[in-house]
Structure 1
Amino acid sequence: MAGQRLIASCFLAGLLFSRGLAFSLPVLNLYAVVGEIFVHEFEIDDFKDAFPSSMDENEPPEAPVTFHTNLLDYPDLPRWLRYIQRTPYQTGYLYGSPTSKELGKQTIEVKAYNRYTYETARQTMIITVAPSSDGEMPYQADFLVKNWDVDEVLPADIQDLFLQAVDSMWEQDGLTVVNITSALDRGGRVPLPIENRKEGVFIKVGSKEPFNECLTKVMSPANRNRCKLQQQPALTCYDTFSPRFQIDWCNLTLIDLTNIYTTEAVTIYGDGVLEEGSEFNPPDDAPDREFFSDFLLTFLLPFLLALLLALLLAYIMCCRREGVQKRDQKTSE
């Protein structure tokens, strides 16, 4: 009987241990291009089959799953990557725009957590950042979309709709989404949970052709004055964004990289050894200084003030008492 209990306990412990281990999915190879938005979706259904309890009939069909992403052997993601997932029942997004400093391969570790069974699954992603074949987009326009959240514009079909609206106004071919940033990351406020308000999202679009007259007129001094009066600028062309995308034209930014010349400072490191005669020599003839006046000001003045208050309190408590006899004389019979 004791042997059967021991075998059952070992079997149960092994079962719990196997359920607690993280199942590893195959390595995923992804590619990102410098100067273009990179988006990867974490579908919950892709990780559900990796959990050992996926064959359990008692598990709900829509179990909540959350994700945690980090650079391999580091606690956080690279600087150019961000991750967002609104609820454990929605798709998670890994997105960002790499620069020329991120060229090469970066290994990202993804952990999926089943919030119903507390099981985990792991996947390794290798992101290869390559330079753009078309080069850097010298003309970039940064739009603030007020009625969308960042996770809502990350899908490819929504980005295509936005590019179509930009193409109709900019009248240029070969437009590219350079970057997508939440308005909260740019100093925006969290909206109140009323009237279906959104956080807002900045979408930066790049092109090789200069800005047309419609976009440059938005940045005119007259329209800047209208923005100071909290009025929207007057557009000289048809607003192809409305009503699907509500653009805050006062926050439009036009970037012309052809007129920006920056030189990166180069740090020159020495050998770490001081030259002869360059060590610090403290002065030997420092003048003497008396601190007696500072002592009196720091200790004696508060002491005298406390003594004065104590004497005043003693006088009020001991010398100003009327007594019972004086009280009875003033009290009528």
Structure 2
Amino acid sequence: MLRLSLSLLKCVTIFIYLAKFAFAKDANVLMTEVFQIVVDPPLFNWTYEGRRDQFVYEASLLNAPDLPSWIHYVYSERHHSGYLYGVPPNKNKAVVPLEVVALNKHNYETRVKNINVIISEKLNPAKYELHLKIDNLNVEDMFEVDRMDALKDIFRKQLWRDSDEDLYVTFLESAIEMGARKPLNPSEGEGVIVRFGSEVVFSSELLELQEEVRPLYKVSPCPRGFKKTSVERYFKEAGFSMDWCSFRLIRRDENNNSAMHKSNHVNTEEDAYDDYWRPISRDELPKRSYMKELLLTITVPTFVMVILVLILTFVLCFHHDDLDDEESDFFLDNLFHICIDWYHERIGLSEETVESVTPHQPASQFSTFNSADTFHNYLNSKEAHSCADAAINCGVHCRPSPPPYVRPKFKPEL
């Protein structure tokens, strides 16, 4: 029963996958030639209901999260449309299924459109190419038919007249994607790299132009407006600001059948899926050991710490100077005598204090203090303490008591 369910599920999956192919839109493209697919509301059977920027698009390979490396997607704010463009690889009769998801921001409706890119071989591929860089345009500007025809006419009518019949675009990409820097002024164009190819050999005008700009190759890319050439007027009149430092003439040989895409000719349809995104397994992830970094992180600080400890130990224990301080030595040697002198001075102050506290007592009372021990015993006696307490309690108003007042007797005069 389980096997039957799995088989039924596989059949349903295959049927849905084939149904997507059956109802998908086909887009025929040629090798070595730039193609473009417009992604707009009519592609999803939508009509503009309000603002033209109410639609959002997302393109990828069918059942994959991203586009192959040779297909690019850009959205034009001016035209309110998306563009899928690129140069197909040399894979004849290959079919590359794409899936475009559209979102209507007005009512959040989502629709999906499948596009089958069918690669075919170009009968007469270009053998000669010229490389240009236009500073004042963005890549989506080159999808305007009038602008592209105006650029082609400069070569078909002025500089490369023999290429009138088979001149076509062999490469197109934003200068930012090719490594250029964004302009300082946001209103200026980001720049476009474009190549034109033909089977016809280069004209004398193109060869002379290459010799004229050859000294500028060493400063490529040029600042905008750095150099004017003798053919500048043709491009200025058409609204193109050229970077002549990037101008090149390229001859394609048999081994290099594409200026930007070097790949061998493949006739199998399965090879068209080489650029598919394939999730990698955990075992395929590269492994790296961090043991060396760990040992280096631990060993170096430990070694430095040991060296510093040894140096500090040597300085503190084995390297000291004999410093003589005469004042300190004298103080330490005579510390006992200094204390004895201070004690005797203290005793002298105590004697003066006692004499000031009891001035009315006879001096014979203190005449018995002939030694420090005798005076020390007196200070510890109750009499000395009572005298000191009386002095402290009296404060500054303590005076000796006056003699009693005796009223003199009246003696009548004789």
- Per the normalisation by structure 1, the TM-score is 0.65
Aligned to 1:207: 198
C-alpha displacement of 1:63: 5.4
Please name the residue that 2:391 is paired with: none
Aligned equivalents of 1:249 and 1:264: distance in 2? Answer: 29
Task: Report if the CA contact (8 A) 1:226-1:233 is conserved.
Answer: no
Say whether 1:41 aligns with 2:38: yes
8 Å Cα contact 2:175/2:191 also seen in 1: yes
Task: Give the counterpart of 2:131 among 118, 142, 157.
Answer: 142
The amino acid that maps onto 2:204 is: E
- Computed over aligned residues only, the root mean square deviation of the Cα atoms, in angstroms, reads 3.5
Give 1:256 shift. 0.1
Letter in 2 for 1:302: M
State the distance in 1 between where 2:299 and 2:203 align.
75
Instruction: Give unpaired runs (5+ residues) of structure 2.
Output: 1-19, 265-297, 316-414
Q: What's the counterpart of residue 117 of structure 1?
A: 107
Output the CA distance in 1 between the equivalents of 2:299 and 2:250. 63
Percent sequence identity is: 24
- The CA distance in 2 between the partners of 1:123 and 1:137, in whole Å, is 33
Contact 2:53/2:80 (<8 A) preserved: no
Label 1:232 to 1:310 Cα distance change in 2 as closer, same or farther (>3 A). Answer: farther
SS of the aligned residue for 2:197 comes to strand
Going from structure 1 to structure 2, the CA distance change for 1:162 and 1:304 (only over 3 Å counts) comes to same
Cα 1:109/1:88, change in 2 over 3 Å: farther
> Which structure 2 residues correspond to residues 311-322 of structure 1 after superposition, within 5 A?
none
The corresponding residue for 1:324 is none
99-108 vs 200-209, which moves further? 99-108
Instruction: Call closer, same or farther: CA 1:296–1:142 in 2, change over 3 Å.
Output: closer
Q: CA deviation at 1:261?
A: 5.9
Tell me: CA distance 1:44–1:311, structure 2 relative to 1, closer, same or farther (3 Å).
Answer: farther
Letter in 2 for 1:177: V
How far did residue 46 of structure 1 move? 4.2
Aligned residue number for residue 335 of structure 2? none
Aligned to 2:245, the other structure's residue is in SS state: helix
Amino acid aligned to 2:198 = S
- Are residues 1:242 and 2:245 paired? no
Report the Cα distance in structure 1 between the residues aligned to 2:240 and 2:45, rounded to whole angstroms: 35
Whether 1:156 and 2:148 are equivalent positions in the alignment is no
Aligned CA distance change for structure 1 residues 60 and 242 (closer, same or farther; 3 Å): closer
Preserved contact between residue 64 and residue 88 of structure 1 (Cα < 8 Å) = no
How far does residue 106 in structure 1 lie from its aligned partner after superposition? 0.8
Aligned to 1:185: 177
Q: Distance in 2 between matches of 1:264 and 1:87?
A: 35
Q: Identify which of 100, 104, 108 aligns with 2:98.
A: 108
Aligned to 2:384: none
CA contact (8 A) 2:39 2:82 kept: yes
Tell me by how many angstroms 1:239 deviates. 4.2
Q: Deviations over 1:174-228 (max 9, x none)?
A: 211112111011111112345x3110101110011111122222332x6332555
CA distance in 1, matches of 2:98, 2:254: 36
Whether 2:247 is the aligned partner of 1:252: answer yes
SS in 1 for 2:107: coil
Are the counterparts in 1 of residues 128 and 197 from structure 2 also a CA contact under 8 Å? yes
Of 30-39 and 169-178, the range deviating more from structure 2: 169-178
The residue aligned with 1:305 is 308
Q: Which amino acid aligns with 1:305?
A: L
- Structure 1: segments with no counterpart, 5+ residues: 1-23, 266-294, 313-333
CA contact (8 A) 2:27 2:117 kept: yes
2:189 is aligned with 1:198: yes
- Counting strand residues as a fraction of each chain, which structure ranks higher? 1
Deviations 1:116-175 (A, max 9, x none): 3332110001111100122x2000111111111000111333222221122121112221
SS across alignment from 2:235: coil
Alignment length (residue pairs): 250
Question: Given residue 179 of structure 1, which amino acid in structure 2 is its aligned partner?
Answer: F
Rg comparison, structure with higher value:
2
User: How many Å apart are 1:28 and its aligned residue?
Assistant: 1.1
